[in-house]
Structure 1
Amino acid sequence: MSIRVGIGGWSYEPWRGLFYPEGLAQARELAYVGEHLTATEINATFYGRQKPASFAKWRDAVPAGFVFALKGSRYCTVRKNLAEAGESVGNFVAQGLVELGDKLGPINWQLAATKRFDADEIAAFLALLPPEHEGLALRHAIEPRHESFEDPAFFALCRKAGVAVVLADSPDYPVFEDQGAPFVYARLQNARADLEQGYPDAELDHWAARAKAWARDGREVFAFFINGAKERAPAAAMALIERVGGG
């Protein structure tokens, strides 16, 4: 089974002393994440272009088997017409992410919460997502956040393109359960500050069972604890890793 579990990024002040040991140098934080988790989702790629040297540095900081999911650029996804994002998508994949090599996980194209489903627009956008760059295979996921995407036509377009629909377990946005892609991308956003692990045991057991079922079905699974009580995310991730047998 291939199940990877992580958090969002690695730089977050409340994790220092709670997840990171007291006195751990900030330059060592990513390596520490790599020692205890199996993935992380990089949000910085949503806001701006990164340098190839940065991707290479991140790659070398973590062990074999660890993966980095990337948030697609806002210049691609936060626009009036997604069909016109071709140049921006090209710039995104050409920024040096190939330096991650086999540590590159899926790219999450998170749409604006106000973006409504339009079949022609979404079909055109999905067609812009390249299957590879410089010989490195790329995997894509799309995260709609408007209820109009609860439409069989949308899921059919994603299945045809091999693009995963992000399962965002969120109190603020719709939850899209269709999992027709070769991999599953889950963003778990209901951590609670009053629980050391962020989630009750029963909920962690539930997500572990789902992850194992997806994996048995032949899908690679990526699960990230994002938002909610973010300070609890690393503990929640470690608890889920333990339940799925280390990934």
Structure 2
Amino acid sequence: MTGTIYIGISGWRYKPWRGDFYPEGLKQRQELAYASRAVSSIEINGSFYALQTPERYADWYAQTPDDFVFSVKAPRYITHVKRLKEIEEPMANFYASGVLQLKEKLGATLWQFPPSFKYDAERFEQFLSLLPTTWAAARRLARHASRGEPPAKSELPARTPLRHAVEIRHPSFTCVEFVELLRKYRVALVVADTAGKWPLLEDVTSDFVYIRLHGDQELYSSGYSDEALSHWAKRIRSWLAGRQPRDAHRVASAAPPRRSSRDLFCYFDNDIKVCAPYDARRLLRMLSLAEHLAVVPGEPASELPD
């Protein structure tokens, strides 16, 4: 038995992609519809820079296939500006901004921290304790927002779980205490390949794995060779089956309890030179997951929502 896997790209609206990944003549308003038929998941980036709106999230939901999944990058206002201090209201505003309009297509929420943010056990545990773990908890949190609007009653069961993943970039996080804290709250530690710039940690801390591939040799720009993608495909198969790679870059000596399977999210963020969508497709093919997708990058597609 293996878990469910989602492989895709971080963001989808990039000028250099037009006339390359996106075929000539494709309307900008159709880019999400096109991309969501070429990969199985997309990480929403706009939510990192500014709060979005319920109408926008609902539109993204409507443009994508039924089996498509989004992950959402949480606001930098919480992680970079407030740096986890006095974040109750900003977090409520985030969940009132329309995230729950993604309904069953909401995969995980990514909380990315800047390279200057050092591990602070007390502050970090307070942050983790605030994260809503169910749909009902997120709706309750949104009622305290000073911006946005409380989400309408959900079609999903109140106990539907919400998933969270944390991406760190300061070496002070490479400690057992941090890994154990994430396991306590069942939050995933992002496996981030950053061409050696920031820590690469592969400790499994939740019932799912979240991978971000920022570039094999050069951050945000270099593509992945077949050998490099094969390396990641092998690791992905291990995580999906509930195991860990034998050579995993682990901080904690103790591995998490073995599971029969784990779900997995993997996003390519090497977008500067239009590598991300092509690398995602190649990895999908290696894992025999590309056949059901309706779009081949760079080729026109019919029957896209207008």
TM class by smaller structure = over 0.9
Cα distance, 1:81–1:229 mapped onto 2, change above 3 Å: closer
Give the CA deviation at 1:93: 1.4
Q: Which residue of 2 aligns with 1:52?
A: 54
Q: Which amino acid aligns with 1:149?
A: F
Pick aligned residue for 1:238 from 281, 285, 291: 281
Q: Which residue of 1 aligns with 2:29?
A: 27
How far apart, CA to CA, are the structure 1 residues paired with 2:49 and 2:175?
29
Give the CA deviation at 1:108: 0.6
SS at match of 1:60: helix
Pick aligned residue for 2:194 from 163, 170, 174: 170
- Ranges in structure 2 where 5+ consecutive residues have no aligned partner: 140-157, 243-260, 291-306
Give the CA deviation at 1:177: 1.4
1:123-148 Cα distance to aligned partner (Å, 9 max, x none) = 11111111122335321111111000
How far apart, CA to CA, are the structure 1 residues paired with 2:272 and 2:35?
18
Q: Which residue of 2 aligns with 1:186?
A: 211
1:197-223 Cα distance to aligned partner (Å, 9 max, x none) = 921111111111111211111111111
How far apart, CA to CA, are the structure 2 residues paired with 1:153 and 1:103?
33
Pick aligned residue for 1:42 from 38, 41, 44: 44
Give the CA deviation at 1:179: 1.3
Pick aligned residue for 2:167 from 99, 119, 143: 143
Give the CA deviation at 1:158: 0.3
- Asked if the contact 1:211/1:244 (under 8 Å) is kept, the reply is no
Give the CA deviation at 1:183: 0.8
CA RMSD of aligned residues (A): 1.8
Give the CA deviation at 1:190: 1.3
Q: Which residue of 2 aligns with 1:67?
A: 69
Pick aligned residue for 2:234 from 205, 209, 219: 209
How far apart, CA to CA, are the structure 2 residues paired with 1:105 and 1:130?
14
How far apart, CA to CA, are the structure 2 residues paired with 1:88 and 1:176?
28
Pick aligned residue for 2:177 from 134, 153, 169: 153
SS at match of 2:37: helix
Larger Rg: 2
How far apart, CA to CA, are the structure 2 residues paired with 1:80 and 1:88?
9
- Asked if the contact 2:215/2:270 (under 8 Å) is kept, the reply is yes
How far apart, CA to CA, are the structure 1 residues paired with 2:130 and 2:170?
21
- Ranges in structure 1 where 5+ consecutive residues have no aligned partner: none
Cα distance, 1:158–1:128 mapped onto 2, change above 3 Å: same
Q: Which residue of 2 aligns with 1:119?
A: 121
TM-score, structure 1 length as denominator? 0.93
Q: Between Structure 1 and Structure 2, which shows a larger proportion of strand residues? A: 1
Q: Which amino acid aligns with 1:146?
A: H
Segment drifting more, 205-214 vs 127-136: 127-136
TM-score, structure 2 length as denominator? 0.76
Aligned residue pairs, count: 244
Give the CA deviation at 1:84: 2.3
- Asked if the contact 2:223/2:270 (under 8 Å) is kept, the reply is no
- Asked if the contact 1:116/1:149 (under 8 Å) is kept, the reply is yes
Give the CA deviation at 1:79: 3.8
Cα distance, 1:128–1:216 mapped onto 2, change above 3 Å: same
How far apart, CA to CA, are the structure 1 residues paired with 2:165 and 2:68?
19
Moved over 4 A (4+): none
